[in-house]
């Protein structure tokens, strides 16, 4: 017998990654989960104050790692807060500023989590330093998203899933 408090593994789960500017971390997370999720997830990204353009190094990093980067765009989180939108199952913030902001009320009462990742777009220095920062953020996101994609969602209730998402967010940064 199916328990209504368990998430079904056969459905596609909608995940929204949030950051303030929606130009780097959340964009890479969206692309990674859509690629690694095996059809179990449909990922999106948005920002509270979107920059309006995806950072070129985010696109370069995705392409170098053979992650499709077509159709990625910087967008506002208000697109996903409209009542006409299909419900979001998970909302994951990837920057501390977005996690501290008052978020809209999301349709569907999603499970929320915070996965803080240093902002590679804020790194100043040589092109090599900047590329290294994007690579590091990519590796951290990839490690966390790989864990998320491997979870047996059919075996977890909402509280258990929330705990797992929080545990993933506390996982340490990838080594350089």
Catalytic residue set? 19, 95, 103
Q: Are 65 and 55 in contact (CB under 8 A)?
A: no
Contacts of 160 (CB under 8 A, 6+ apart): none
Q: Are 141 and 17 in contact (CB under 8 A)?
A: no
């Amino acid at each position: 017998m199916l328990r209504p408090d368990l998430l079904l593994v056969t459905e596609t789960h909608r995940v929204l990654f949030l950051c303030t500017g929606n130009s780097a971390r959340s964009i890479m997370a969206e692309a990674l989960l859509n690629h690694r999720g095996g059809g179990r997830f449909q990922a999106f990204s948005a920002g509270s104050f979107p920059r309006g353009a995806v950072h070129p190094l985010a696109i370069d990093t995705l392409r170098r790692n053979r992650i499709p980067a077509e159709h990625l765009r910087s967008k506002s989180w208000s697109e996903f807060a409209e009542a006409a939108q299909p419900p979001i199952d998970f909302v994951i913030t990837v920057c501390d500023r977005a996690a501290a902001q008052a978020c809209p009320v999301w349709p569907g009462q999603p499970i929320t989590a915070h996965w803080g990742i240093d902002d590679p777009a804020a790194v100043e220095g040589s092109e090599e330093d900047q590329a290294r920062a994007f690579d590091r953020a990519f590796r951290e996101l990839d490690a966390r998203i790989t864990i998320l994609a491997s979870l047996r969602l059919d075996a977890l209730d909402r509280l258990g899933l929330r705990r797992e998402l929080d545990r993933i967010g506390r996982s340490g940064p990838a080594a350089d």
